[in-house]
Chain A
Amino acid sequence: MAQIKRIKVGMASCGLAAGAQAVFDELKKIAGDIPVVGVGCIGHCYCEPIVEVETDSEPVFYSRVQGTADTAQKILALSEDGRFEIPALRKKNEMVFVTKLAGRIVPCDIEEYKANDGFSALAKCTVMKPAEVIEELKKSGLRGRGGAGFPTGMKWSFLAAKQNPEKVMICNADEGDPGAFMDRSMMESVPYQVLEGMLIGAYATGATKIFIYCRAEYPMAIEHLTIAIAEIKKAGYDMLPGREKPLDIVIKEGAGAFVCGEETAMIASLEGKRGQPRFRPPFPTDSGWNGLPTSINNVETFANIAPVLNYGAENYAKIGTPKSTGTKIFALAGDLKNPGLAEVPMGVTLAEIVYEIGGAKPGTVKAVQTGGPSGGCIPADKFDVKVDYDSLKELGAIMGSGGLIVIGNDRCMVETARYFLSFTHKESCGKCTFCRVGTKRMYETLQRITEGNGTEEDIAFLEDIGPKIRMGALCGLGQTAPNPALSTLRYFRNEYEAHVKEKVCPSLACSALVDLKLNPENCIKCGLCRRTCPVGAIDENFVIDNAKCIKCNSCKELCPKKTIQRVPRGEGFNSNNK
C-alpha cells in the first residue's frame, strides 16, 4: 500500500454544505500523525464531500464521503470503495488552468502557495517595467471575466496612463447572479492567487489603493482574504518596488444589493453612498472612487493574472479562440447530473459543456440560460455553438460571469423568464425610469401570462417595451434585464402563444394552467396521496379536486404506482366546474 502523506478534505462552502466538517472531524480522530487539512473546491460540487489522499505516488480521491468513523477507516486504508475518478468526458473537455490549485492546497497557507509557484509571477513582474507587464497582458488577449469581456491589458493601460499620485484598483467580488459561484470558489480556495493578481495589477497600473468589494453573503471568502492579506503584509509583498508606502488593501463587505456589481454603483457604495449607478462618462478611469482614477476588475480576472504571466502571454493566447483567448470557468446548475464548476478553453461547444461535462442527457434539455438574470437563453438546437464572448452575443445571450443554468424539458420558458425578471425588477436600484418601472411592467406581464390571464397584446407589449428598456436604461442591470424575456420570446414564442391563446402551459409547469389527475386503473388505494395532501383535495374515491389542489405535487411524487399526472387545466376534476 502506498504511503499516506496528507489527507485533504474539500471544505469550501459547497463541501461544508454537503457535510465535510463531520468527515474532517472523523478523519482527524483516527489519522494520528497523518496531517488532515481543509482545502478548497476542485469544482466537482456534485460529489461533495470530497477527500483527497496524498500519497507517495498518485493521489487517491473519494467522493460523497460520509462523516462516519467507518468511512474514515476505509479512507485511511485507501479502500477501493467510494473512490472518485474525474468522469472521462469531462477530463476530455476541461482545461484546468486558473483552477489548477483550487482544492489542492490549503487556502490560507502562504507557504504552500509559495511552494506551488506562488508569487513567482509577481517576482517576474517586479523586475519588468510596469508598461511591459501591461504589454504582456495585452499580448495574452485576456478579457475581463466579469461579463462584458473588455480587454484587461487595455483597461490597465488606461489607469497606468493617469499621472495622479493616488490611483485605485477595485476587485469586483460582488458575485450576484443566481447560479454563479466561481468567484466565491476562487476566493475561498486560492485567495493568494487572487491577491497576487491584484498586486501585479497595482504594480502595473500604479494603483496605490485596492478595494475588494465582496458580498457579505460570502463569509468564508472574506475570512480567507482577510487572513491572506495579513500574511501578505507580514511577508512584505504589499511593499511594491519603487513605492514609499505599502499598498493599502481594504475589504469592503457589500450589503446585498445586486446592482452594486455595476462599477459606478460599486464606487458609490465604496464612497459610503447609496449603491446607485451613475451615467458614464466620466468613466471610472477618469473619475472613480472619490474622484481618483479607478480600475475595476473581476475576481476571476485577477485569478488569471499570475497563471497567465507564468504560462507566458504568447502561449496563453493560443488557448481558446482568437478573439476570446484562454479558459473560462463556468458554474453549472439546473437540470443536469453534475452541477459544479468547470474550467474549459474558450471555443468548446455548449453541447460539450452541457452534455459531456454537465452530464445532462441529450434530449432532456430544452435550453440553457447563460449569464444569469442579465443573460439570455439558448435553445438546445443551437448547442453546437462554440462558446466565446461574441458567439453568445449573436445568439441573444451573453457570457456574463459564466453562470450556466440548464433548463430541462419539463420547465416552462415563460415561467423561466418570469423568474429572472422577478429577480431583476426587485434588484433595480430604482433610479431610472426604464428599469424601475419598465422591468416591473414586464414582470407583471409575464406573471399574468403564467397565471393564464395573458393576452396577445401582452406578448406585443413585451416585444415593444423590451428593446426600449435595453436602449433606455441607465446601467447594465436595466439594459440587460429584458434579455430573459426577449430571448425566450425569440426561441420559444410558441410557448408564450400557447399560454395566451389556448391557456395551456405546454410544459405543464405553470400551476394556474394545470390540473392534477389520478388514473384509477393502476391505483392500489394505498392512501399515501390522501395522507400527504396538505389541503385535503383528494376524496375517499381517490378523485383529486382541482378547486382545492394547490399543485404542490406531493401526491404525484409519493404515489408508488405513478398514477398521478399533471394534465392541462380542465382535464382534471374541479368541483367549481360542475
Chain B
Amino acid sequence: MSEIHFKIDGMDRVAQPGDTILKAAEAAGIKIPTLCYNQKISRTTSCFVCVVKDMKTGKFLPSCSACPSEGQEIDASSEEVKQMRRTALGLLLSEHSGDCEAPCTMACPAHASVEEYVRAGKQGDFLKALKIIKQRIPLPMSIGRVCPRFCERDCRRNIDSKPVSINDFKRLAADLHYDSYMEELPPLNGKKVAIVGAGPAGFSAAYYLRLEGVQADIYEKMPEAGGMLRYGIPEFRLPKATLRKELAHFEKMDVTIQYGKELGKDITIADLSKKYDGVILAVGSWSPSSMRVEGEEFAEQGIRWLENIAAHNWKDLPNLGKTLVVGGGNTAMDCARTAIRLGGDVTIVYRRTRKEMPAQAIEVDEAVEEGAKLELLTAPIAVKKLENGKLALTCCKMQLGEPDASGRRKPEPVPGSEFDLEADTIIAAIGQRTICPTEATATKRGDISVNADDLKVDGFENVFAAGDCVSGPATVVEAVAAGRKAALSAVDFFAGRKHIEPPVFNVSRGHWSSLSTDDLVYLHEVSKADRVEPEFIPMEQRKTTFTELFPTIPADKIMKEGERCIECSCTAKGECKLKKHSETLGVKPDMFKGERSCGKADTRHPAIIRDPRKCLRCGICVKICGEVVNKHLLAAMQRGFGTRIGTAFGSVLPLACTDCGKCIEECPVGALDWKTKE
C-alpha cells in the first residue's frame, strides 16, 4: 500500500498505511491528550479526549483509532477541538469521585504536603518530615507553635473522632532537626532583592528567593527580627529563644538584616527599587484600631501594649490590678493571658457571644482556664478617669439581631442597659490596620494595593508586597504563603515573565461534615486511639510565668498519632492523567454536575485497591490482563452509567491473579492501584 498524504493543522504530512492520526500528529510535533490510549493493547476508543476534527466532513474523530485518509484535512488544535476535549474531560470529572489531595493539604494556606509529612512522622523519619514541611513552610518552629491549624479543621477524622494533631508533627520535626537540616542552595545568580520588614512574610520571601539563587537584604525598623512573632505573640506561646534560633538559620542563607531602618524615614521604596533588582514590602499591620469612644486615650492599645512588653522581654513589669480587655480576637486573648501573668484580675469584654469570637476557640478556652472572666454581649460606650485614680468603662448590654455582612448576627444595644465597670487597666484589643507606606496606593481598607496575580504593588515595576500589609491582619501561615508568592513573582519578573499561580485543581469526595465513615476509603487500618494531647505545665506556673505552655510532644507519641491518619489523598497523585489534562486544558472538576459513579472501593486485597468511583471505564486494565498478561481476569460489566470493571463473581481478585501489577501500571487514574503510598 502506498503512503497517505494529508494535512494536520495546515501542515502537509505523509503517513504510512495503518498509522493513526494520533501517531501522525506526534510525528508532526502536535501533542494530543489521551487517556484510554495505550500502546501495549488494541485500541479501546473510550475516553474521546483525543478527538480531532475532519475539516471536510465536520466530523470529530478519536485520533487514537482513526487513520488519516488521502487528502484529509485534520484540525488537531483549534479552540473548537479543545472545547470538545474539555467537554469529554468535564463529563469524566462529573462522574469521578476521589480526593486528588488530602483535605488537610487543601486547607493549608501554604499548601504544605500535610499527608506526606504526617506519614514521614508516623514512620519516625522526622528529618524527611521537616524537608517536606520546609518546601512550603520556612518557619516550622514558629508555625508549629502558633498556627491556628486550618488543616485540622478539615481533617476527615473529625467525622468519628478528633482531628489528627497535625501541627505537633511540624513542631517536633523542627525541634528535632531544624539545626542540622540545611537546604541545598543554588549558587547566587547576582540578582538582589530588598525586603522591608523582618516578619514571617519577609523571611518567607527571603527564603524562597534564596532557593532560586536570589540574595535578599531585609530592612527592619525594630531592634530585633521576627515582626509579629517577636513583638505580637507573647513569650508563653512562642519563646523568643526558639524564634531567634529559627531566624538565625537565615544567616546561612545569605540573608542580611539591617535594624532600625524605618520605611519613609530611613529608607524609601523609590531608593530601594533603584538600588535593588526588586523590592518586597512586608511591613505588617501594626496600627491599632480605635474603639471610637469618648476617653479612649485612658485605655492601652492592645498591639502597642503587647509590643511594649515584648520589647522589655516580659521583665520588670507593673502589677496591672483589675484589668479589662476589650475585644474577642486572638490579640485580645494574648493581651488577657499576658495580663494574667502580670498579676492582673482579667475580664474580657466582648459585644457578641463566645460563639462569634474571632479568636480561635482553643485560645479562648485556655484564657478562661487561666482565670479570665468573660463579659459577653457587652459593648464599651466610654472610658472615664475616676477621682480615685481608677478607670471606669461605661458599657451597654447587647442583644443579637439579624446576620450582618460577615454572616454573624449583628449585636444591637439594649436600651437603658448602660452600666460601669471599674478597673485599674483597660486594654482595647479590637483589631489592627495596615499603615500603608505613603509611596504606595492604599486599598479602601487601608492595605497596600497590589495586583492579585503577582502581588506587584500598583504603580511600580519591580516592587511587590506580601503578608498582613496586603491582606490585613491574618495568620503567620498565610503570611508565609504570601511571602513565597511574592518571591516567585519577583523571580518570574527577573526572567521577564509574569507570574501565574498554578491553578489548584482538586477533585474532592467532599467536606467531612457531609460524609460518613462509609464514604471514606481506608488503605490500611486506622488507629482508633484518642488524639494525642499536649501535657500543659502546671496551672500555677501558667498563670504566673511566661514559660511556654507545654513542651513539644515526644516522638513516640507523635509516631502513634500518625497512625490515626486516614491518608485521604489519591494513590495516583502526581501520575493522574485525568488531572494533568484537566489542568492543561483548564477544566474545572465541577464543569458538569450530576450523580457520581457509585460503588465502594474494594480494599480486601492486601496490596491492591480497586476504586470504581475513580474508574474511567476506559478498559485498559481489561485489555492489559487479556492481551498482555493473557489471563482475562477483569471485565466490564453492567450497562449505562452503572458500567463498571469487575471480576468474576465479585471476587477480590481471582486466584489466577499473580499480582503482576501490569494493569496497575497502565491505569490512567487511581482506580486500580497499589495500596502503598510514597
Contact = CB atoms under 8 A, between A and B. Distances in A.
A429 to B, nearest CB: 6
Interface in B136-195: none
A440 interface: yes
Contacts of B636: 274, 276, 430-431
A429 B643 contact: yes
A472 B51 contact: yes
A213 interface: no
Interface string B619-640: 1000000000000000110111
Interface in B48-66: 48-49, 51, 59-60, 62, 65-66
Interface stretch (B83-91, B369-377, B580-588): B83-91
A431 B47 CA distance: 8
Contacts of A434: 48, 87-88, 91
A153 interface: no
A153 to B, nearest CB: 24
Contacts of B94: 437, 441
B12 to A, nearest CB: 23
Contacts of B592: 437, 441, 465
A436 B67 contact: no
Given A274-B635, A472-B60, A428 B617 contact: no
Contact of A430 (B44, B59, B92, B639): B639
Nearest to A440: B641
Interface in A408-458: 425-434, 436-438, 440-441, 444
Contacts of B639: 257, 259, 426-430
B640 A468 contact: no
Contacts of A431: 44-46, 617, 619, 636, 643
Nearest to A430: B643
Contact of A432 (B48, B84, B640, B642): B48
Nearest to A282: B67
A472 B642 CA distance: 20
A303 B596 CA distance: 45
A436 B595 contact: no
A281 B43 CA distance: 12
B101 interface: no
A6 interface: no
Contact-size category for A: 20 to 34
A278 interface: yes
A426 B639 CA distance: 7
A433 B47 contact: yes
Contact of B62 (A257, A279, A426, A441): A279
B60 A433 contact: no
Contacts of A2: none
Contacts of B538: none
Nearest to B42: A278
B95 interface: yes
A426 B640 contact: yes
B223 interface: no
Given A279-B62, A431-B617, A440-B595, A472 B640 contact: no
Contacts of A425: 640-641
Contact of A474 (B48, B84, B594, B640): B48
Contacts of B616: 433
- Interface core residue of A281, A433, A474 (most chain B CB under 10 Å): A433
A511 B635 CA distance: 41
Interface residues of B, number: 35
A471 interface: yes
A430 B642 CA distance: 8
- Interface core residue of B44, B46, B59, B639 (most chain A CB under 10 Å): B639
Contacts of A432: 45-48
Interface in A255-287: 257, 259, 274, 276, 278-279, 281
Interface in B609-668: 616-617, 619, 635-636, 638-643
Contacts of B65: 279
Contacts of B642: 430
A478 to B, nearest CB: 10
B95 A437 contact: yes
B84 A468 contact: yes
Nearest to B89: A433
Interface in A462-481: 465, 468, 471-472, 474
Given A279-B45, A433-B92, A438-B91, A471 B60 contact: yes
Nearest to B96: A437
B643 A436 contact: yes
B91 to A, nearest CB: 4
A537 to B, nearest CB: 31
B601 to A, nearest CB: 19
A466 B294 CA distance: 67
Nearest to B66: A279
Contacts of B48: 432-434, 472, 474
A432 B639 CA distance: 12
B507 to A, nearest CB: 15
Contacts of A279: 43, 45, 62, 65-66
A43 B173 CA distance: 84
A279 B60 CA distance: 12
Nearest to B635: A274
- Interface core residue of B60, B617, B635, B640 (most chain A CB under 10 Å): B640
Contacts of A427: 639-640
Nearest to A441: B594
B669 to A, nearest CB: 13
A440 B641 CA distance: 7
Contacts of B67: 281
Contacts of A468: 84, 87
B218 to A, nearest CB: 51
A437 B619 contact: no
B60 A430 contact: no
Contact of B46 (A281, A433, A440): A433
Given A430-B641, A433-B47, A434-B88, A444 B62 contact: no
Contacts of A436: 95, 617, 640-641, 643
A436 B639 CA distance: 9
A440 B640 contact: yes
Contacts of B45: 278-279, 431-432, 474
A444 B640 CA distance: 13
A156 B655 CA distance: 48
A559 to B, nearest CB: 39
A472 B643 contact: no
Contacts of A259: 639
Nearest to B616: A433
B534 to A, nearest CB: 49
Interface of A: 257, 259, 274, 276, 278-279, 281, 425-434, 436-438, 440-441, 444, 465, 468, 471-472, 474
21 contacts: A278-B45, A279-B62, A279-B66, A426-B641, A428-B641, A430-B636, A430-B641, A431-B643, A432-B46, A433-B46, A433-B49, A433-B88, A433-B616, A437-B641, A440-B95, A440-B595, A440-B641, A444-B595, A472-B60, A472-B84, A472-B88
Given A430-B642, A433-B92, A434-B87, 6 more contacts: A274-B635, A432-B46, A437-B92, A440-B641, A441-B594, A444-B595
Which 6 pairs across A and B sit closest by C-beta, in order of nearness? A430-B643, A437-B91, A279-B65, A279-B45, A440-B641, A426-B640
